[in-house]
Amino acid sequence: MSFSLESIGIKAGGKYETIYTTMNKAGEVDAAPIGLKCIDDYAVLARIFEGSKTLKNIKETGIFVVNITSDPHVFARSLYGNLEEEEFVRDGDIAYLKNTDAYFIALVKSIEDKEIDKDHVNDGAKFSIINAESLKIIINKQGAKALNRGIFAFLESLVDFSRIDIIDEEKKEEYINRFKENERLIDVVAEGELKEAMKDLKEKLIEKGLDL
């Protein structure tokens, strides 16, 4: 195969925010924001909660498309409802977004139905783990890169670090809580390099006297 997920910023171990486009057997198309975990050069994993059209369609057809975009309106509109029919491009048994920066086709290898035991949001929820193989990356925009929430959490923590010497004790408590939440998020979504950078930042904050 002549492509790699790294060419669109997707690295092993990282979790990225993307738009999945799926089709049901009747040919109806759906778009939704769904995370994508990268296992290696071609293997990807999705964790999708029961009740979404995306999961139903993937179970029906065994194929989906991962669209790479940083357009906030596309994320919001595909969450609040569906995108307009004319925003999709149909191509045989798949559909992708007309204005996406890049996309790839994901072929399902296995689906495992599970139930959450303990979680920071929804204990007891049912979800499926989809293991898939990425095929045929199409890049429409030079420099297209999948979004990773970790980098934003890290930047927020860096901004907090730059203000640490000028804030009062009460604000410090707020900063500690925010750092802990950013650290939790980075632990879940970031690949190795960013995790290392966050670890270094933690050391620096501890040197500044923060109880982390």
Ligand X SMILES: Cc1cc2nc3c(=O)[nH]c(=O)nc-3n(C[C@H](O)[C@H](O)[C@H](O)COP(=O)(O)O)c2cc1C
Binding mask 46-65 for ligand X (x = CB under 6 A): -xxx--xxx-----------
Q: Name the one range near ligand X by CB under 6 A: 2-10, 26-34, 83-91, 199-207.
A: 26-34
Q: Rule CB under 6 A: is residue 32 a binding residue for ligand X? A: yes
CB closer to ligand X out of 52 and 140: 52
Backbone angles phi, psi at 209, to 5 degrees: 100, 5
* HEC-encoded secondary structure of 27-67: CCEEEEEEEEEECCCCEEEEEEECCCHHHHHHHHHCEEEEE
β-strand partners of 114: 127
Q: Rule CB under 6 A: is residue 87 a binding residue for ligand X? A: no
CB closer to ligand X out of 54 and 175: 54
Please state the closest distance from residue 69 (CB atom) to ligand X, in A.
11
Candidate residues 28, 40, 79, 90; the one interacting with ligand X per rule CB under 6 A: 79
Residues 173-192 that bind ligand X (CB under 6 A): none
Backbone angles phi, psi at 41, to 5 degrees: -55, -35
CB closer to ligand X out of 156 and 164: 156
Give dist(CA 176, CA 94) in Å, integer. 46
Q: Rule CB under 6 A: is residue 150 a binding residue for ligand X? A: no
Q: Rule CB under 6 A: is residue 14 a binding residue for ligand X? A: no
Please state the closest distance from residue 204 (CB atom) to ligand X, in A.
29
Size of the site for ligand X (CB under 6 A): 14
Give dist(CA 96, CA 23) in Å, integer. 10
Cα of 9 vs its chain's centroid, Å: 12
CB closer to ligand X out of 69 and 175: 69
> Which residues have a Cβ under 8 Å from the Cβ of 23 and sit 6 or more positions away?
29, 30, 57, 61, 90, 93, 94, 95
